[in-house]
Structure 1
Amino acid sequence: MLSKVRYGVMRCGLLVGALGMSMMAQAQDFLPVLQYHHVSSTSPKSTSVTPEQFTEHMDYLQTAGFKVIDLKTALEDLKANKALPEKAVAITFDDAYRNIYKAGFPILKERHFPFTVFINTEPVERNSRSFLTWQQMKEMEEFGGVFANHTISHPYMLRKLEGETDVAWSTRMETEVDTVEALLNEHLGHSPKMLAYPYGESNQTIRSMMAEKGIMAFGQQSGVVSADSDFENLPRFPASGAYSKLSTLKTKLNSQPMPLLTVDAGGDFAGVDPVSIRLTFKEGKYRFKDLACYVSGQGKAALEWASDREVVATAPKAFGTGRGRINCTMPDRAGRSYYWFSNVWIRTKADQRYVSEKS
């Protein structure tokens, strides 16, 4: 009898162990995050998906077996090195447009998909008819909506006002962030302590400010979040406008974080010379011959290998004024998905009054 009991316990233990290994094999340690703005047929096409396109995206997530999860929880799990469900993905919106409530929310609600909206509160507080109300946000919260910080007035966070000192600029940026945190707590009773930088622009001063406040923040570079990410400058995949094609979205949803040990981009600003970025890869077997880096508006970057695991990607020419980026991709060993990495630089003009490039 004892031997049968022992056998049963051992067999149960083996089954539990096998189940645990199976669950571990199905888990993932990274998260693609989708970024939307408008859900409308009449808003600017560059930042919009139509309701039909948004339905197509959400239907694909559902039928392809993606697990749409809460962004805040997922980020905290990644930071703690906890596994996410297989095919985990998160959905976000920037700006508190009312068409998110009218056209996007019913689609998400029907599928029980959680989502996050980064709100700029100035138009909300003045009751603009084009933006969400606090009451609508409360309703959306009941069905998986989370509302996070996008500053008060959606400024270029690295530009100073005329005659403004660096100290005054820093104080103004703190006010832009702290006021929204206070309003979230006042109207909704809580804040997820997440922020999306307007226009995706930040520098080390701003990122350090976020770290001190315990706020996780997103830029506008594309890529996949992992435990190795900079949690004060996280990537997302744009899914609106030119990026709304389902075929290209499928590739991004099937991406993994580039296995990088270090990145040296030479700072946040571009100058009169072409930008370069130095990437050092982790130990492992990779398809380096298939690594390709693309420069916005310029084609492929030149790749120069400094060692077996270190490459320098250089743009063909200098960026024009504004934001420019280099996107690097590489197929994984099995050829079933792509590793993905992106970096953004800002090329400034004197009359834009950007803060010191060393700030």
Structure 2
Amino acid sequence: MSSKIMYGIVTGALCASTAVQAQDYLPVLQYHHVGESTPFSTSVTPEQFTEQMDYLKTAGFQVVDLYQALEDLKAHIALPEKAVAITFDDAYRNIYLAGFPIMKERGFPFTVFINTQPVEQSNRHFLTWQQMREMESSGGVFANHTVSHPYMLRKLEGESDEAWLQRMTDEVDAVEDLLNKHLGHSPKMLAYPYGESNGQIRDLMKQRGIMAFGQQSGVVSADSDFENLPRFPASGNYAKLSTLKTKLNAKPMPLVEAQNGGDFATDQPVSLKLTFKEGKYRFTDLTCYVSGQGKATLDWVSDNEVVAMAEKPFPVGRGRINCTMPDYSGQHYYWYSNVWIHASAELGYVSEKS
């Protein structure tokens, strides 16, 4: 399968600004919990979150509304220089209790992708609709994370392909209905639970006009797949400010095309073929890392085409290849990531051809 990257031509709108510098890409930060006793891998402490938000302020980053920034990128309209967006997955109440006051004090907009089942059940660990309405008045936006946070590519025992797809459709549509019912509107954005999607799920998003995010790292540009957008995790092992600074200064890898062989890995090692746009790049400094394996082997098949190869097959679950390359200024890294799922029959994943 070929993951075509739309090749956009930046219009005069991007170049029109003379007094104010602008950028044609957007790093998006992903959080879950803001707390001291929540799971480490998906948490930042209030102190860490304050440090990160203070850095955004003092370093001159412009925290922008995610939906409007995505619409501008699609239309080739320039974003402010050092634009960045803030997102949270799941509807945890600690976002309201610990994260919201920090963002409100600094005037930062943010987006929360909510799974509505615990909200509707009045689970005390999750947001209420009233809290969401309060947060909306200070820059909060609430978007779709499905009803029950399922693995969207797993079928129930005995479930047909048609029944599975209908169930996933209902998971998405029900949240859209609840957003409109309780908040009066929906931004038509979704984050895939666990970052998992396939062509059918992405087609479902496209049919509904929903922009959707995976969990692969990278920055959004007009060339991105708007049904499978990247974000940078900023919690757990990624909460250190030094790590965050590198991501905030990332640029989109200048690609014409990325061929990944499909959404699913097999019992063979994966590979990723990258075709670069015309330009002068530091190809000798391109490095690709395979999750759990270290550096990928790079095979340059032409002057602007490289194949990054894993050494070993992925274990069952999600695996990825992350590729980075410094630009000539030395201040930014180009960044691209691809995720595969190594399915097993026991987990009930849909087939590649479903």
- Note whether the superposition's TM-score is higher than 0.5: yes
1:186-220 Cα shifts (integer Å, max 9, x gaps): 00000000000000000000000000000000000
Q: Where does residue 221 of structure 1 map in the other structure?
A: 216
Q: How does 1:72-221 map to 2 (within 5 A)?
A: 72-221=67-216
For residue 258 of structure 1, what is the aligned residue in structure 2? 253
Structure showing greater relative contact order (alpha-carbon pairs closer than 8 Å, 6 or more residues apart): 2
Of residues 326, 332, 340, the one that matches 2:335 is: 340
Q: CA deviation at 1:61?
A: 0.2
Determine the C-alpha separation between the residues in 2 that align with 1:243 and 1:166: 37
Letter in 2 for 1:36: Y
Q: Deviations over 1:43-64 (max 9, x none)?
A: 0001000000000000000000
Q: What is the aligned length?
A: 340
Select the residue among 214, 238, 241 that pairs with 1:246.
Answer: 241
Counterpart of 1:67 in structure 2 is 62
Q: Distance in 2 between matches of 1:178 and 1:20?
A: 40
Q: Per-residue CA shift, 1:279-317, capped at 9, x if unaligned?
A: 000000000000000001100000000100000000011
Distance 1:258 1:93 in 2: 25
Cα distance in 1 for partners of 2:320, 2:52 equals 26
Residues 209-244 of structure 1: CA deviation (Å, up to 9, x unaligned): 000000000000000000000000000000001110
Which of 230, 244, 266 does residue 271 from structure 1 map onto? 266
Larger Rg: 1
| 2:18 partner letter | M
> Is residue 285 of structure 2 the alignment partner of residue 290 of structure 1?
yes
Quote the residue 1:358 is aligned against.
Answer: 353
Aligned mates of 1:77, 1:347 — CA distance in 2: 35
Mapped to 1, the partners of 2:219 and 2:16 lie a distance apart of 28
After TM superposition, what 4+ stretches of structure 1 lie above 6 angstroms from structure 2? none
The Cα RMSD (Å) is 0.9
Aligned partners of 1:19, 1:139: CA distance in 2, in Å?
37
- TM-score of the superposed pair, with normalisation by structure 2: 0.95
Counterpart secondary structure, 1:178:
helix
> 1:151 and 1:20 mapped to 2: Cα distance?
39
| Residue 21 (structure 1) shift | 2.2
What CA distance in whole angstroms lies between the structure 1 residues aligned with 2:310 and 2:237?
Answer: 23
Determine what percentage of the aligned residue pairs are the same residue.
75
Corresponding residue of 1:42: 37
| Alpha-carbon offset, residue 256 of structure 1 | 0.2
Deviations 1:252-279 (A, max 9, x none): 0000000000000000000111000000
Match of 1:322 among 311, 317, 320: 317
- Offset at 1:19? 9.0
Structure 1: how far apart are the matches of 2:345 and 2:237? 30
**Where in structure 2 are there 5+ consecutive unaligned residues?**
1-14
| Inter-partner Cα distance in structure 2 for 1:243 and 1:269 | 26
CA shift, 1:348, in A, is 1.0
Amino acid of the structure 2 residue aligned with 1:21: T
- Give the aligned partner of residue 21 of structure 1: 18
